[in-house]
Structure 1
Amino acid sequence: MRQSGRRSVLLGALLLVASLAAGCGDSDSSDGGKGLEKKTLTVASLPLVDAAALHVAQQQKLFEAEGLKVQIKPVQQSIQALPALAKGDVDVIAGANYVSFLQANEKGTLKLSIVAEGASLTSNMMNVLVKANSSIKTAKDLEGKKVAVNILNNIQSLTLNAILKANNVDPSKVTYVAIPFPQMPAALEKGQVDAVHIVEPFLSDTQKKQGARVAVDGGSEPVTGLPIAGFVATQEFTSKYPKTAAAFQRAIFKAQGLATGDRKRVEEVLPTFTKIDKQVASVITLPGYPTSLNTTRMQRVIDLMTSAGLLKQKPDLKTVLFQPTS
């Protein structure tokens, strides 16, 4: 009886261990074995080439490979999604311009966490366009003129002002008007503004449909290669869901690598989240797609903002830039 009892206890223990192991296996299989704290993310995204990696990752099932399900919510301006990000209704914003969000961080509107770099400035991917018959030929000709930007005091005016100064132009003599990118072509055509500082894919589309011409290369020195947009969250999100944030970052950087190595990847997804056709997608100028989160690169943005008076003091990038612990 004593031996039979021992066998029963041993058998029961083995069954319990097997049951627990099976339970753990089910949990791991649902999130790719990563132990993610949160598996479904809502990402607000702009219809810009800056956010192409998000859609490449979705198409190539890179999120799924990390155990993530990503729901994409289209927005016209990244700043529109800022309140939702602060409240937690949106987990990440794709294509967010750094200027607006670094300013919000300084004001205390939200504690910013940059999860991944999204795009860096290349020559002719964000230009100042004018009508074909416009008298504006050079940067100097913009003095006294109205120029459309997506958001006031954002990455566009910051970079354009740096270019203007480098060409001995007084930026204070240029009047910026806030107009969302999709509405810029109509504003230029109607004469509501003299020029539009417009980004791809709207840039090439406007040139094709209206015959607009480039007055200023918005990616020229001294801002060539400058980080302009990224994937941003809050510090509350990345501290509460560090493994989830790391998984999202890995998927994005893999997608950025695919976009860098083969532009066809970007051309394929652009018509799915922008209003441009395949023909325009095949000729547009793409930004740089960084495959890492680099402190030195981001410091350029901070320094430029500080010198322009857009930041009162430089934030601690070790706090702002999300770095996985493992």
Structure 2
Amino acid sequence: MFGIVRNRGRVRAALALAVVTVVTGCGALGATGPGASPGGNGLEKTTLKVSILPTTDLAPFWLAQDEGYFQAEGLTVESVIAASGQASLTKSISGDADIAFSTYPPFFTARSTGAADMQLVADATSVNAKSNAIVTVPNSPVKTIADLAGAKIAITAKNTASDLLTRSVMQDHNVDFGKVKWVLIPLPGIAAALQQGQADAAYLPEPYITQAAQTAGAIPVIDINTGATQDFPLTGYGATRKWVQENPKTLAAFQRAMQKATHDALFDRAKVEPLLVRFAKIDEDTAKLLTLPGYGSILDSRRLQRVPDLLLQLGAIPSPIDVNSMIGPQAGR
């Protein structure tokens, strides 16, 4: 089982400094910029619906709600629970939500297929050391990454982060994924599937890694935070281009609140753990033990370009996508 998350030295410090800088700059904008005054004056809308999934990636979002950062920006933010990243995206496209939280692949596949013209509006998480892994159980025939060739591997769905990152790690280690039997199972059911032999191995993020270790004796085969998927952009927030164009001040208010909350989450784990217990329905012991993802809020096009590039490489999209064309305006920049 993976241990408690630790700071990542100079890289994490540099990220934290960048967040602090942006938050400080946004504070100045909030005082003098158009439509950014407290109480929602000038905002196109003051009630915001955000479709989310109850995962550890949402800690800064819950923190922004709990600490009143949205309220300070004049926003009332309502959570709309979605069953998956794709379902979350669909709620944004249909108008049931203003902003959608998801892993990154659905945003790019929607753009590639013409299903929706989505813009990315805020970062959320990246793969962190020991926060995402391919795991197995002691009675499985899979003992090493080489054993994954031809195995039954549980993922949530094809062309999702679980699928793409698993295939990328296998490719890095020259393991053929062409004969893998992919078993599609929602995250909450994967530990039981491993126990019952329905799958030989599985891709899992936290908190499911820690929970599967506790309930099924799951052990890591390989950490996803290696090779081509090290520090890989994992989740973010998006909205339709139409919504972004019609609500620039509301979007900026949301971004400022998220930047401040992300800063807090990076520096104070004690604020994060109770939120995971309350909102992600994780028990206190798991919240203390699990490895947190790498939190972020500012969208970096060079970093995010890795996502559509991997989608293209693995055949999940038919043609290249320039990330710059999908990044919306960001408060403080």
AA partner of residue 84 (structure 1): K
1:184: Cα distance to partner?
1.3
Match of 2:264 among 245, 258, 265: 258
Match of 1:30 among 33, 39, 44: 39
Match of 1:81 among 81, 88, 91: 88
Deviations, residues 238-285 of structure 1 (Å, cap 9, x unaligned): 111011111111111211111111122221210112221111101111
1:164: Cα distance to partner?
0.7
1:180: Cα distance to partner?
1.2
In the aligned structure 2, how far is the partner of 1:150 from the partner of 1:273?
Answer: 21
C-alpha contact 1:76 1:180 (8 A) present in aligned 2: no
In the aligned structure 1, how far is the partner of 2:104 from the partner of 2:273?
Answer: 25
Aligned to 1:123: 129
Aligned to 1:158: 164
Please tell me the root mean square deviation across aligned C-alpha atoms, in Å.
1.7
C-alpha contact 1:42 1:72 (8 A) present in aligned 2: yes
Q: Is 1:244 aligned with 2:253? A: no
Aligned to 2:110: 104
Aligned to 1:305: 311
Instruction: Give unpaired runs (5+ residues) of structure 1.
Output: 1-26
Spell out the pairing of 1:175-186 with structure 2 (5 A cutoff).
175-186=181-192
Structure 1 residues 28 and 321, CA gap change in structure 2 (3 angstroms): closer
Match of 2:154 among 148, 153, 157: 148
Aligned to 1:51: 58
1:29: Cα distance to partner?
5.6
| SS of aligned partner of 1:30 | helix
AA partner of residue 55 (structure 2): L
Structure 1 residues 305-314 or 97-106, which shifts more?
A: 305-314
Instruction: State the identity %.
Output: 34
In the aligned structure 2, how far is the partner of 1:177 from the partner of 1:134?
Answer: 15
The structure with the larger Rg is: 1
1:310: Cα distance to partner?
1.7
C-alpha contact 2:191 2:215 (8 A) present in aligned 1: no
Aligned to 2:32: none
1:322: Cα distance to partner?
1.2
TM-score, scaled to structure 2? 0.85
Aligned to 1:137: 143
Structure 1 residues 110-119 or 307-316, which shifts more?
A: 307-316
1:133: Cα distance to partner?
2.3
1:28: Cα distance to partner?
6.1
Aligned to 2:281: 275
| SS of aligned partner of 1:256 | helix
AA partner of residue 328 (structure 2): F
| SS of aligned partner of 1:171 | coil
Structure 1 residues 262 and 28, CA gap change in structure 2 (3 angstroms): closer
In the aligned structure 1, how far is the partner of 2:68 from the partner of 2:182?
Answer: 40
C-alpha contact 2:60 2:258 (8 A) present in aligned 1: yes
1:114: Cα distance to partner?
0.8
AA partner of residue 285 (structure 2): Q
| SS of aligned partner of 1:232 | strand
Structure 1 residues 278-287 or 185-194, which shifts more?
A: 185-194
Match of 1:64 among 71, 80, 85: 71
Instruction: Give unpaired runs (5+ residues) of structure 2.
Output: 1-35
In the aligned structure 1, how far is the partner of 2:277 from the partner of 2:55?
Answer: 11
AA partner of residue 259 (structure 1): A
TM-score, scaled to structure 1? 0.86
Structure 1 residues 268 and 87, CA gap change in structure 2 (3 angstroms): same
Aligned to 2:328: 322
In the aligned structure 1, how far is the partner of 2:210 from the partner of 2:82?
Answer: 21
1:149: Cα distance to partner?
1.2
Deviating beyond 6 angstroms after TM superposition, the runs of 4 or more aligned structure 1 residues are none
C-alpha contact 1:142 1:174 (8 A) present in aligned 2: yes
C-alpha contact 2:135 2:218 (8 A) present in aligned 1: yes
In the aligned structure 1, how far is the partner of 2:273 from the partner of 2:267?
Answer: 13
AA partner of residue 314 (structure 2): A
C-alpha contact 1:242 1:324 (8 A) present in aligned 2: no
In the aligned structure 2, how far is the partner of 1:50 from the partner of 1:28?
Answer: 29
Aligned to 2:176: 170
Structure 1 residues 146 and 64, CA gap change in structure 2 (3 angstroms): same
